[in-house]
Amino acid sequence: MIVLQLTGGLGNQMFQYALGRVLSLKHNSELLFDISSFDYQPYTDTKRAFELAVYKVRGTIAKKSMLNRRERPNRYKIILNQYLHLGLNPYPKNYVKENGHEFHLEVLKSPDNTYLSGFWQSENYFRDIRNTIIDDFSKRASPISSRNAELKSDMTKSESVSLHVRRTDYVTNPNANAFHGICDIAYYQRAMKHVEKAVKKPVYYVFSDDPDWAKENIKSKHKMIYISHNHGRDAHEDIRLMSTCRHNIIANSSFSWWGAWLNQNPQKIVMSPKTWFKDRSVNTKDMIPTEWVRL
């Protein structure tokens, strides 16, 4: 079995799932989700929950009795060492914790019966099974709404460009702001200018958790459509819509990263911020696919 610690929002969980899917396929093994981190979130203003259920993913939630934890996990790590030699069945014997944000090839060599703890934010972990990951994230647990279906259809008929503005806790939470930072207006202006060199009549579809700010500050001479109706458990529909657009301008957010990565247009232009984390000590060299443009 492969046991996967899930943490963070939907975009983070999608990265974690993708690596777990690779290893479960490699070993022809069961994939289990450890969602216990969502039971204890004392350090964040943005409470998270298991969100992969919106997709028909290939995995199941691990029972708490199987994990048999002796203490609650904190935000960044889970102490497992005291469990590794207890002979718990079927608790994994191997524990792999991510060390930094770079791609680590040795993780893909992890044996069966492994527990994975980390964010794994690089397509290098799962690029070889791209079609499988796209298929997994294309199958939804519920049908698309009429409004989203209409937008999806319109996006295929124009030079549609998704543009994502991430704010909320990146602005209001001091810790999140210090680590992540935000993409400024100048970044979006440069990104749109770059797109418009190659695309004659772009139609911008603007996605944001702060739509009022986006309407006031993100402007273009070209048509702009602001998307603000997908909330809460429907937020995954924004990823679907982003991936339908012909081109993408993403924020420093795993949410719009997935919208761009799932875009199957072979001629797509993807604009990404060069500075992904405000904390410059974090190495993000493997986070952005080489064919994307970093500004």
Whether residue 160 is found in the same domain as residue 102: no
- The answer to whether residue 108 is domain-embedded is yes
Nearest to 59 by CA among 91, 37, 32, 36: 32
pTM (2 decimals)? Answer: 0.88
Whether residue 97 is found in the same domain as residue 153: no
Residue 275 pLDDT > 90: no
- Among 71, 98, 132, residue at a domain's last position: 132
- The answer to whether residue 140 is domain-embedded is no
- The answer to whether residue 139 is domain-embedded is no
Residue bearing the bigger pLDDT, 183 or 63: 183
Whether residue 152 is found in the same domain as residue 279: yes
Looking at residue 72, its pLDDT comes to: 41
- The answer to whether residue 261 is domain-embedded is yes
Number of structural domains, the chain? Answer: 2
**Distance in angstroms (rounded) separating the CA atoms of residues 272 and 276:** 8
Q: Tens digit of pLDDT for each residue in 226-274?
A: 999 998 889 999 999 999 999 999 999 999 999 999 999 999 999 999 9
Report the range of poorest mean pLDDT among 10-14, 16-20, 29-33, 64-68: 64-68
Residue bearing the bigger pLDDT, 78 or 117: 117
Nearest to 206 by CA among 137, 141, 139, 155: 155
Residue 82 pLDDT > 60: no
Whether residue 168 is found in the same domain as residue 75: no
Range of the domain at 241: 145-294
- The answer to whether residue 137 is domain-embedded is no
Q: Tens digit of pLDDT for each residue in 146-175?
A: 999 999 999 999 999 999 998 666 545 656
pLDDT band at 40 (very low <50, low <70, confident <90, very high): confident
Here the CATH number for the domain that contains residue 151 is 3.40.50.11350
- Among 132, 157, 179, residue at a domain's last position: 132
Looking at residue 76, its pLDDT comes to: 40
pLDDT band at 87 (very low <50, low <70, confident <90, very high): very low
Q: Tens digit of pLDDT for each residue in 186-235?
A: 999 999 999 999 999 999 999 998 999 999 999 999 999 999 999 888 99
